[in-house]
A and B are shown apart, each in its own frame.
Chain A
Amino acid sequence: MSLMKSLLAGAALTLMPLAAFADPALIFDLGGKFDKSFNEAAYQGAERWKAETGGSYKELEMQSEAMREQALRRLAETGANPIVMTGFAFGEVLDKVAPDYPDTKFVIIDTSVDKPNVQSVEFSEEQGSYLAGVLAAEASKSGTVGFVGGMDIPLIHKFECGYAQGFKATKPDGKLIINYTGTTPAAWNDPVKGGELVKAQVSQGADVIYAAAGATGIGVLQAAADAKILSIGVDSNQNHLHPGQVLTSMVKGVDNSVYEAFKAGADVKPGHKLMDLASGGVSVAMDDNNKPLITPEMADSVAKAETGIKDGAIKVHDYMTDNTCPVK
């Protein structure tokens, strides 16, 4: 059977010279490829695929909102397959473009698009953020922690709400300060404002601050390190940015999703993929950089919360199901 398959594949390759051009492609949304966070995680996944297979891929970085459709069409037109794009903002555009290229597979991360040739990958950020909240509650001496979000959208409220639930479950009388950087995609790439928000939160007593803000988070982590307080990174493992000063990072397996899509090539399975704590889609990063910060009790609480979420004993509310958060 497998011999038959490879024979067929060989025949297909020789019959279709076009297949040689079927490199996968990756499109980064606004915020920049090297944001040390969301987009960079996708980049890492693509690079891992490249290093392992020796293949090549095309990549495009969005510079403006209006270019999304052209970029997607151009890549599809060149025969790239599959085309992976990062960010919910591509949802509307992909919904329109995907039917025009039925033979191309598309993968979209962070939102769902119902089309027969689209794989939608979504993460249970609320679960990973819950664990981050547990850690923040235990690490905080003042009892006040902060959250800096990027663009003020339900997706980031999902992070915030999970974080708040974990924090309040551990420290019911603790105080949580919440700020958002902005209301447009520019909020993903505004480290200066991120740093200012940290200063404001520190002056209100926060001593652990969680950033869910793309490249804006670089400024949040920097300002937190400067103020000698702890921060929590997001999407990528950001513990190494300020060793000993980043409590942990809420890691989203964006890199794995990209890697697996590239590996599957044109055989990417369309449909919805939910990446949660149980499937390893989200986690809190533990490595040598934050080892001194994590006491055995903290590791214990996280492990407990983790098993609780996995076996359903702890239900973490997903903000996006009803646009409300049970804890304030």
Chain B
Amino acid sequence: MGRLPRWADVILTPLISVLLAFAISALVILAIGESPVEALKVMVEGALGSSYGWGFTLYYATNFIFTGLAVMVAYHAGLFNIGGEGQAAMGGLGATLVILSLPWPHWALALPAAMIGAAGFGALWALIPAWLQARRGSHVVITTIMFNFIAAALLNYMLVNVLRPVGSMDPASANFPAATHLPKLSEMALAFGITWGKNTPANITLFIALAACVLVWLLIWRTRLGYEIRAFGKSEPAALYAGISPVRITVLAMLISGGLAGLMAVNNVMGEAERLVLNSVEGAGFIGIAVALMGRNHPFGILLSALLFGFLYQGGGELALWTTIPRELIVVIQALVILFTGALDNMVRRPLEWVFARSGKRD
């Protein structure tokens, strides 16, 4: 079996996997008595057909970029961080505490502080599983997923007993002051005289997410720490032999990972809801796993697959609104994408390698 050309490895394999997942989803839609063509039309129309749809697609994509990058950084260190959900929830708590505790005069000042709060809380939430993994050998998959539940319970407690304003019945924090509201992409477009995506939640955080993609790329492939992370991820004994401390790398990689997941809160808590509500993460932490797998753990791939999942998420919402196809079907499609890109990767890869090997010989 020859090796695949790089473009086939990075683009063709995931693309075929996604197409296979879509094909099976189409069969499922047929089986419940709906038209897959209609469904696809509704999804494309609803997610990409208008600037309104794009506004939501980009908003969701921003969430998924952060959680995808979080999974990626841990993955390069050979760690599987399933705790993005809890880390993002704690990030929301961190951002909320920062924003509500000081009278911020302007969003430009509140934003960096909220980012530090969000990333800090997210990183701290990843620290304990990381330490347990590094020092005690407790598997990070188990501990991070358990920490998701602890985060949900802690958030419950904080919203019901501490952050809920007096007189309010809804377990949610107070609304953030108007000065801390982030500029929406629609407002920025309007400043240039363009009417785009009115009333959509996509906001300036998108650019932070794009910057994070570049920074993570620099970190993993252009720094000493990134090299150590990758070396450790490839082979722990070899890394140890090279003088790389497993404890240090495990903890650092998980801190960065948790921080990235926590940063998502800047988008959904500060940028969209403008207050902290229950379940604000809405599964984005788990979708990050799919995004990272599909993006082949490369920031550029993650950007593309986050866009795809943003489309799936927004299109799925439209499906629920306009057709009798339940929103849950989107979960089925997401699951199929994960199945094909993650678990059944070789099913697509092997035949492709074979095809390329054959055509290579002919040349």
Contacts and interface: CB of A to CB of B under 8 A. Distances in A.
A65 B279 contact: yes
Interface stretch (B79-87, B113-121, B166-174, B248-256): B166-174
Contact of A184 (B278, B280, B317, B320): B278
Contact of B170 (A63, A67, A74, A88): A88
A184 B155 CA distance: 11
Contacts of A74: 317-318, 321
B56 A70 contact: yes
Nearest to A91: B170
Given A60-B320, A70-B201, A78-B321, 8 more contacts: A66-B273, A66-B277, A69-B273, A70-B56, A74-B321, A92-B275, A183-B156, A183-B160
Contacts of B320: 60
27 contacts: A58-B321, A63-B327, A64-B278, A65-B278, A65-B280, A66-B277, A66-B279, A69-B201, A69-B272, A69-B273, A70-B56, A74-B317, A74-B318, A74-B321, A88-B170, A92-B168, A92-B172, A92-B275, A96-B175, A96-B274, A100-B199, A111-B169, A154-B169, A183-B171, A184-B156, A184-B160, A184-B278
B262 to A, nearest CB: 17
A-B interface, 6 closest residue pairs, ranked by CB to CB distance from nearest: A153-B169, A183-B160, A65-B278, A64-B279, A65-B277, A66-B280
A92 B274 CA distance: 11
Interface string A76-90: 011000000000110
Interface residues of A, number: 27
Interface residues of B, number: 28
B321 A66 contact: no
B52 interface: yes
A131 B275 CA distance: 39
Contacts of A58: 321
B282 interface: yes
B96 interface: no
B268 interface: yes
Nearest to A67: B282
A77 B168 CA distance: 28
A155 interface: yes
Contacts of B160: 183-184
Contact of B282 (A64, A69, A89, A91): A64
A184 B169 contact: no
Contacts of B52: 77
B199 A88 contact: no
Nearest to B275: A92
A97 to B, nearest CB: 8
A185 B321 contact: no
A73 to B, nearest CB: 6
B172 to A, nearest CB: 7
A53 B201 CA distance: 37
A60 B318 CA distance: 11
Nearest to A111: B169
Interface string B272-311: 1111011111100000000000000000000000000000
A64 B283 CA distance: 10
A11 B317 CA distance: 35
Contacts of B172: 65, 92
Nearest to B274: A96
B199 to A, nearest CB: 6
B317 A70 contact: yes
A89 B280 contact: no
A74 B278 CA distance: 21
A155 B320 CA distance: 31
Contacts of B317: 70, 74
A67 B280 CA distance: 8
Interface in A178-208: 183-185
Contacts of A75: 321
B278 A73 contact: no
B170 A92 contact: yes
Interface string A143-180: 00000000001110000000000000000000000000
Contacts of A154: 169
A98 to B, nearest CB: 12
Given A60-B321, A92-B275, A66 B170 contact: no
A185 B278 contact: yes
Nearest to A97: B199
Contacts of B279: 64-66
Contacts of B275: 92
Contact of B175 (A66, A69, A89, A92): A92
Contacts of B278: 64-66, 184-185
A153 B327 CA distance: 30
Interface string A41-75: 00000000000000000101001111101100111
A67 B199 CA distance: 15
A184 B160 CA distance: 8
Interface in B156-188: 156, 160, 168-172, 175
B38 to A, nearest CB: 17
A270 B23 CA distance: 49
A155 B170 CA distance: 11
A66 B282 contact: yes
B330 to A, nearest CB: 11
A33 B323 CA distance: 17
A198 to B, nearest CB: 24
A72 B320 CA distance: 14
Contacts of A88: 169-170
A56 to B, nearest CB: 13
B135 to A, nearest CB: 35
A111 B327 CA distance: 28
B268 A66 contact: yes
Contacts of A60: 320-321
Given A74-B317, A74-B321, A184-B278, A155 B169 contact: yes
Contacts of A70: 56, 201, 317
Contacts of A73: 199
A60 B171 CA distance: 22
A65 B156 CA distance: 12
A65 B317 CA distance: 15
A86 B168 CA distance: 17
A115 B204 CA distance: 29
Nearest to B318: A74
Contacts of A92: 168, 170, 172, 175, 275
